[in-house]
Amino acid sequence: MNDQTLEDILTAHADALRHGHVAEGQPYLAAFLGQRSELDTLMTLAENLARALVPVKPAKNFRDGLAANLQLAAHHQAAQLALNPNRVALRYPLWLGAAALGASVAAGGIIAWVARRNSRLSHSHAGSV
Amino acid sequence: MQHTESHDNALHSDSEVQLIERAKRDPAAFGILYERYVDRIYSYIYYRTGDAREAEDLTARVFHRALAYMPKFNQRGAPFIAWLYRIAHNLVANWRRDRGRHPESPLDTLVGIHTTDATPHAQAERAENERLLLDAMRQLPAERQQLLILKFVDGLSNLEIGHILGRSEGAVKSLYHRTLLALRDELEKRGVEQ
């Protein structure tokens, strides 16, 4: 059995588990007696995962409290945006400007260092001659 | 009041794309998105961290961050929940790095609650097995953990998982197989019998 077939079987098995149609992997195994051990292990693992991974819900007081906090924050944010609608739009060009300025300063520094180094080298060369 | 009711009804009948656009400036629309996805984000973080208190704290941070970045949110084909999962994933990664160790699996509030037909001894054994299984799962790479959570907790198909993970259906199918193999190896390494 190639990997493709194995993947198809495992997917079909997992889909059946998701829909609660298959409690055990036995019906699938009957058709693949040669690879029973490999499939059996992986299907048992999937069945254990399906039993262990059940949906959980947050506590109601946490859920409601967070909803209220978010509403407050959302109103605050909406008010700020209404007062200064360009704030968000302005931020990106500001970052770009700062990055360009930083890059220019760094490039200027490198050029100055190279020029100074060249001048020093030519002085020492002249001195030795 | 009548205006508010009609506003609420309009929001509920919006498509997801319209709702997201409204949520960029309308707190009520953001509230609907929150109600729609809070349980899934909480479940995801709960299984990634294994701790209900941390799950609450990180869930709150996910939605506050989503709210803050909402005006800049850009739909590029992926569903809104994929963006929330990405925020959650980053926050869980930071949390794990800050802690510098793995949690002590306080999943005992959850495991065993669906084993009422067994004897107390069998229930305890099953709960312990589930705890070990979830511990091993949390050693897998984040994307593989997410795949298992989306498949078994959210009950999504490979196609739906692919939309969230940004992969093809075939790639998810293959990843699921490799994830089961890796989990089996992890359990064997820990001497856990399945």
The crossing angle, in degrees rounded to 10, of helices B158-165 and B169-189 is 90
pLDDT at B67: 95
pLDDT at B10: 57
Q: From CA A75, how far away is CA B8, in angstroms rounded?
A: 16
Q: From CA B172, how far away is CA B151, in angstroms rounded?
A: 10
**Buried/exposed A76-102: b ≥16 CB within 10 Å, e otherwise:** ebbeeeeeeeeeeeeeeeeeeeeeeee
Task: Determine contact, residues B146/B166, Cβ cutoff 8 Å.
Answer: no
Kindly list the residues from chain A whose CB atom is less than 8 angstroms away from the CB atom of residue B173. 7-8, 10-11
Q: From CA B108, how far away is CA B50, in angstroms rounded?
A: 9
- Identify the CA nearest to A58 among candidates B92, B54, B52, B61: B52
B27 part of contact set with chain A, CB < 8 Å: yes
B179 part of contact set with chain A, CB < 8 Å: no
The ipTM assigned to this model is: 0.80
Per residue in B46-104, pLDDT (tens digit) is: 999 999 999 999 999 999 999 999 988 887 778 899 999 999 999 999 999 988 755 44
Inter-chain residue contact A53 with B63, CB threshold 8 Å: no
- The verdict on pTM exceeding 0.80 is no
